[in-house]
A and B are shown apart, each in its own frame.
Chain A
Amino acid sequence: MEIEKARIVVDGLKEAGINFTVGLPDSQFHEVYEQILQDPSLKYVGAGNEAEGASIAMGAWFGGKKPALIIATSGLLVATFSLARLHLKEVPLLVLIPYRGDLGDPRWMGIYKQFVEPMLNSMDIPYKIVSRKDEIKQTIADCQICAEAWLKPVAVLVTGEALW
């Protein structure tokens, strides 16, 4: 991915007020992770799996942080149990995902798309799919505002098309 586009994603997180990030890398977002790691204002914690990551983010929220969980599409499936518990506790969390299985995916991962959107719907996790570069920042900001207002996880799925 182009550095400039990674910059947009990272700036979007910062402008949304995110100050604590937890994740497991996805190749689609490699440059995003690299930039986050170099930015102390986004304190990055690398977790061993996405369910652990969601729990770390929950703890950080109780400590007054505005956390984001940045994970792969497949990782969302691993995180489901922890996210369900955050939901039960009504803890806000921005979940940012480079979305596989949509336009721009260099390798067809459509199988994930088949699971992910029905799963987000059934878990009552609102989500927005971003397929235009110009919409990345605003969508991250809007979803963070809604996560805080609604007290639940809200997901931003950024397709390969937006990252082209």
Chain B
Amino acid sequence: MVNRADLISIFGEMVNDEMLVVTPIGSTTPLWERTGRGPTSLTSVSLGMCTPTALGLALALPHRKVIALDSDGNLILNLCSLGTVGNERPKNLTIIVFDNGNYLSGGPGKGKPGMPTATAGNMDLAAVGRGCGIEKASIVRTEAEFKVAAEKALKEDGPSMIVAKIDPVDVRQTKNFREDRGPGQDTRENKYSFARHIERLENIKILKRGGG
């Protein structure tokens, strides 16, 4: 099996700043920030909101590639969003799901898997995606398979979905809440840097002078 960190660093090499990436809370965001693309991505999007937020972005900017780096527990919470994607069929949207089969990856600070998600049992998210009308939905289990699928997804019209089966545990040692949580943006700083990035790319105005 492959791990999330390796796939994220591989994917970081494949995208450029012209593409827009949305990452959820959990371990994906800090790993994505290590690629240096945190400030030009929308990060730490909360439970169940990653794929739908990427969908809204993709529909608003149909000429621009948008990628959701979602995860199993997150996606299952608002699973209906796959149906919405399958009906809207945005050509510019790719959903990558890091599927580790459990919640709270790394366990509650003990290097163990968290409680199982439905994908640890019988649920096949790629089949759900296809059933929702996302025809280009596949499962990958190795780095090589991931690379091929991701390259294809970035090149071809979507919507596409890649379910990457990854190790149940990301990090053996999770930091204690009181320890230094490392560099990165908080959710509001990220909002501003991401919106400014889109303003530059699109030559549009999103943010206005505040009244406070």
What residue of chain A has the Cβ atom nearest to residue B79's Cβ? A48
Contact A43 B59 (CB under 8 A): yes
B81 at the interface (CB under 8 A from A): yes
Q: Is the CB of A85 within 8 A of B60?
A: no
A residues sitting closer than 8 Å to B (CB atoms) are 20, 22, 43, 45-49, 51-53, 55-65, 67, 81-82, 85, 88-91, 148-151
Report Cα–Cα, A88/B211, bound state, in Å: 17
A70→B182 CA distance, assembly (Å): 40
| B78-A55 in contact (CB<8A) | yes
Q: Which residues of B contact A22 (CB under 8 A)?
A: 56
Binding site for A on B (CB under 8 A): 22, 42, 45-49, 52-61, 78-81, 83-84, 87-88, 187-188, 191, 194-195, 198, 202, 204-206, 208, 210-211
Q: How far is the CB of B95 from chain A (nearest CB, A)?
A: 13
Across-interface contacts of A47 in B (CB, < 8 A):
52, 80-81, 84
Cβ–Cβ contact B80 & A63, under 8 A? no
Residues of A within 8 A of B206 (CB): 61-62, 64
Chain B residues with Cβ below 8 Å from A60 are: 56-57, 59-60
Bound: A102/B206 CA distance, A: 36
Which 4 pairs from chain A and chain B are nearest by CB? A48-B80, A63-B60, A59-B56, A55-B52
Task: Please state if B52 and A64 are interface contacts (CB–CB under 8 Å).
Answer: no
A136–B53 Cα distance when bound, in Å, is 29
How far, in angstroms, from A145 to B45 measured CA to CA in the complex? 25
How far, in Å, is A78 (CB) from chain B's closest CB? 10
Question: What's the nearest-Cβ distance from chain B to residue A93, in Å?
Answer: 11
Interchain Cβ contacts under 8 Å between A and B, 7 examples: A47-B81, A48-B79, A55-B78, A56-B55, A63-B56, A64-B205, A88-B187
Chain A nearest CB: distance from B111 CB in Å? 28
Shortest Cβ distance from residue A147 to the other chain B in the assembled complex, whole angstroms: 12
When distances are taken between beta carbons in the complex, the residues of chain A under 8 Å from B202 are 64
Q: Across the interface, do A63 and B61 meet the contact criterion of CB distance under 8 Å?
A: yes
CB distance from A136 to the nearest CB of B (A): 25
Chain A residues positioned under 8 Å from B80 (CB to CB):
47-49, 52
Residue in chain B with minimal CB distance to A88: B187
B204 to chain A, nearest CB (A): 5
| Chain A residue at smallest Cβ distance from B57 | A59
Contacts A20-B60, A90-B191; A51 near B48 (Cβ below 8 A): yes
Chain B residue numbers with a CB within 8 Å of A51 are: 48-49, 78
For A64, the chain B residues whose CB sits under 8 A away are 60-61, 198, 202, 204-206
A62 touches B48 (CB 8 A): no
A91-B57 Cα distance, complex, nearest whole Å: 14
Taking a contact as CB atoms closer than 8 A, the residue among A52, A65, A67, A91 that contacts B52 in the complex is A52
A37 to B81, CA, bound (A): 19
Shortest CB distance B37–A (Å): 16
**Is B52 a contact of A62 with CB atoms below 8 Å?**
no
Q: How far is the CA of A22 from the CA of B55 in the complex (A)?
A: 12
Given contacts A51-B78, A64-B202, A64-B206, contact A56 B84 (CB under 8 A): yes
Instruction: Give Cα A117 to B83, complex, Å.
Output: 31
**Chain A residue contacts of B87, Cβ below 8 A:** 46
A46 → chain B closest CB, angstroms: 7
Given A62-B195, A150-B211 in contact, is the A45-B59 Cβ separation under 8 Å? yes
User: Which of B53, B206, B210: most chain A Cβ within 10 A?
Assistant: B53
